[in-house]
Amino acid sequence: MSRLDAKILLLSLVLLTALAACRPADPDRGETRGGTAIRPTAAPTATEEPAGPMAEYYLELSLDADAARLTGKERVVFPNHTGGPLDEIVFRLYPNLPQRGGAMAVRDVTVEGRPVDFSLRAENTSLVVPLKEPLPAERDVSVELAFDLQLPVVAEGYVLLGYSQGIWSAADAYALLGQLHEQENNKQAAIAVYRQAITNEQLTEQERAAFAARLEMLSTP
């Protein structure tokens, strides 16, 4: 090997060593930098989005006409517009009211996919779902449940729930948010609509003023 070839080989080795030193350490290979083990940093957590203007219901229902039985799965995305944290969510089970004549049994209740121990109140017409962590204002939570509903069969007259006059009716045949929650959700939905209306240039000035007045009344504590 000539002296020139030796110098080129030496420069190549120095360059490769420098490049290796600049390469980031790979923590998956147990590499270190400066004697300190390099560990991967945690992935950033997603920022929580504000709650939607109103509750969302998703239903999956199946009717067994021969047995007069309705089975269902339900998911409710509940936005907390009450102005403060909540440690429970209350649903109404209207089929269990005496005047409705049904028999509704709830099972498999989860909050954000985690099973919870629910309770019943008001003679089984209210379902109370506890929250393991308080739900802050203007955040939402997903509640899922399954239920079995025995429907009444009426020979005469017409009923809103059950079978009558050759028709199956299933009004309010699932868990509905309690009145307090629903009223606040409806209020927030109206506020969102009015806020859009007052900036709608297709409306007349008088119409926008009317929506502004309604918005002011709803926004006043």
pLDDT in tens, 151-181: 999 999 889 899 999 999 999 999 999 866 5
DSSP 155: S
Identify whether 133 is part of a domain.
yes
Task: Please give the average per-residue pLDDT across 99-113, as a whole number.
Answer: 96
Verify that 193 and 152 share a domain, yes or no: no
Is 86 contained in some domain?
yes
Nearest partner of 54 among 145, 182, 173, judged by Cα:
182
- Which is more confidently placed, 174 or 43? 174
pLDDT value at residue 181:
56
- Note whether 71 and 167 are same-domain residues: yes
pTM for the structure as a whole = 0.63
Residue 63 domain-assigned (yes or no): yes
Within this chain, do residues 156 and 209 fall inside the same structural domain, yes or no? no
- Do 134 and 208 have their domain in common? no
Q: Cα angle at 78 between 75 and 83, to 5 degrees?
A: 170
Same domain, 77 and 141: yes
Q: How far apart are CA 157 and CA 87, in angstroms?
A: 43
Asked if residue 44 is part of any domain, the answer here is no
Domain that holds residue 200: 189-219
Q: How far apart are CA 76 and CA 124, in angstroms?
A: 20
The whole-angstrom separation of Cα 81 and Cα 54 is 9
Q: Are residues 66 and 155 in the same domain?
A: yes
**Residue 3 in this model has a pLDDT that exceeds 50:** no
Given a cut of 90, whether residue 96 has pLDDT beyond it is: yes
Same domain, 97 and 140: yes
* Residues 68, 170 within the same domain: yes
Q: Are strands 126-135 and 119-121 parallel, antiparallel or unpaired?
A: antiparallel
Nearest C-alpha neighbor of 154 from the set 142, 143, 169, 171: 169
